[in-house]
Amino acid sequence: MLLQSLDFWVFEILYWLAIPVGLFAFIHAALQRADAYTATDKLTKPAWLGITGGATAALVLFAPSWWEGFFLTFWLLALVAVLVYIVDVKPAVTEVQRRPRW
């Protein structure tokens, strides 16, 4: 009984933390220059806007009460997509746009 309650709260906390992370990724992707994405050999800006926007929508729509099989898998894929943007794409795009340090 305690373990089931713990699982519920862990997933609930993950759900509520994932939504602002997804929003941050989408807003960051929207505010960057389009040429910065191609300069870093990443997907284009519209592609990343679609990925982060769709992933954020999935993070919001699939609440923890629905987490069974397909819905949990889809939610986790959305979280991975947002985290890939934050860990891989965001630093590269930010570095390209940074002014030269002299």
Per-residue pLDDT reduced to its tens digit, 27-50: 999 999 999 999 999 999 999 999
Q: Is residue 78 part of a domain?
A: yes
Closest alpha carbon to 18 in 43, 55, 48, 44: 55
Phi and psi of 41, rounded to 5°?
Answer: 60, 35
Phi, psi of 40, deg, nearest 5 = -100, 10
| Contacts of residue 72, Cβ cutoff 8 Å, sequence gap at least 6 | 62
70 within a domain of the structure (yes/no): yes
- Is residue 10 one of the residues assigned to a domain? no
Mean per-residue pLDDT over the chain, rounded: 89
Distance CA 64, CA 57 (A): 14
Examine residue 39 and state whether it is found in any structural domain, yes or no: yes
* pLDDT at residue 16 tops 80: yes
- pLDDT class for 9, splitting at 50, 70, 90? confident
Domain-located, residue 102:
no
Higher pLDDT, 72 or 35: 35
Q: Does the residue 101 lie in any domain?
A: no
Q: Which domain holds residue 61?
A: 18-94
Count how many domains the chain has: 1
